[in-house]
Amino acid sequence: MSGKLAGRTAVVTGASRGIGFAIARRFVAEGAEVVITGRDKAALDAAVAELGDQVTAVRADSTDVADLEAAFEAVRERHGRIDVLVVNSGTGKLAPIGEITEADVDLVFGTNVKGTIFTVQNALPLLTDKASVILVGSTASRRVAPGQSVYGATKAAVRALARGWMVDLAGRGIRVNVLSPGATQTQGLVDFLGADVVDQMGPDFPLGRVGTPDEIAAVAAFLASDESAYVTGAEYFVDGGAVQN
């Protein structure tokens, strides 16, 4: 099969729906064999049925290190290597200061920071030299809406991890970049902010609209491919100009 990712194996976490699903679908279109992960087996099975034979699924909770170890052992057994790793699993909860609970912090930091760290660490033995690692960040690391302080802090941590890992892995030619979507029309965003808020956001951005998962996936495909061979440690905002406004 032709395509900029032909012959490559990619792992996309949190890919049963939304942005992760769109990235997996774009990678398939570019010729990759793709492994998707998520917590919900039924949702993963439905995603595989839609995405086709180039995709397999491994159920994994990114907050559970043992789950991640088992998931990447399954990837090793099936494919033996990873050429592209997209760490997309994430969560958020609106909580203004004064209303933040310990459970909120444990959930959001556990998923977005701890989960990112141990996903990459468990993938590391399988990453090929010159592999591409893409960490999914957020414009919330730069432009935080009310109640998003904890979520924004986790995405700022993801950016910091990319800077450190860029240096740690440079000797193997492994590139580490951050893909930071702005408001994107997904069910996850609607669940996070509410449908009314999402509907009102678009006119506030320079391009005048909320993005689509496919637009995020297009940039992920660039970062995964040889077209970005000299790009590492970068953060790509795909946000209609929101953080620059």
Sheet holding 55-59, edge to edge: 55-59, 33-38, 9-12, 82-87, 127-136, 175-181, 235-238
Please state the pTM of the whole predicted model: 0.95
**pLDDT at residue 144, rounded to an integer:** 85
Q: Which of 153-167, 172-186, 217-231 has the lowest mean pLDDT?
A: 172-186
Average pLDDT, the chain: 94
Q: Is the pLDDT of residue 194 over 70?
A: yes
Amino acid at 63: T
Mean pLDDT throughout 88-114?
96
Q: Which of 151, 165, 205, 222 is catalytic?
A: 151
- Domains of the chain by start residue, with CATH: 9-244 (3.40.50.720)
Instruction: Reply yes or no on whether 151 is catalytic.
Output: yes
Residue positions counted in the chain: 245
Mean pLDDT throughout 89-114?
96
Strand partners, 49: none
Q: Name the pLDDT band for 187 (thresholds 50, 70, 90).
A: confident
**pLDDT at residue 234, rounded to an integer:** 98
Q: Is the pLDDT of residue 132 over 90?
A: yes
Q: Name the pLDDT band for 78 (thresholds 50, 70, 90).
A: very high
Q: Name the pLDDT band for 1 (thresholds 50, 70, 90).
A: low
CA distance 239 to 134: 17
Q: Is the pLDDT of residue 3 over 80?
A: yes
Q: Which two tokens stand for residue 47?
A: 């995603």
Q: Is the pLDDT of residue 230 over 80?
A: yes
Q: Which residue has the tokens 């660039």?
A: 222
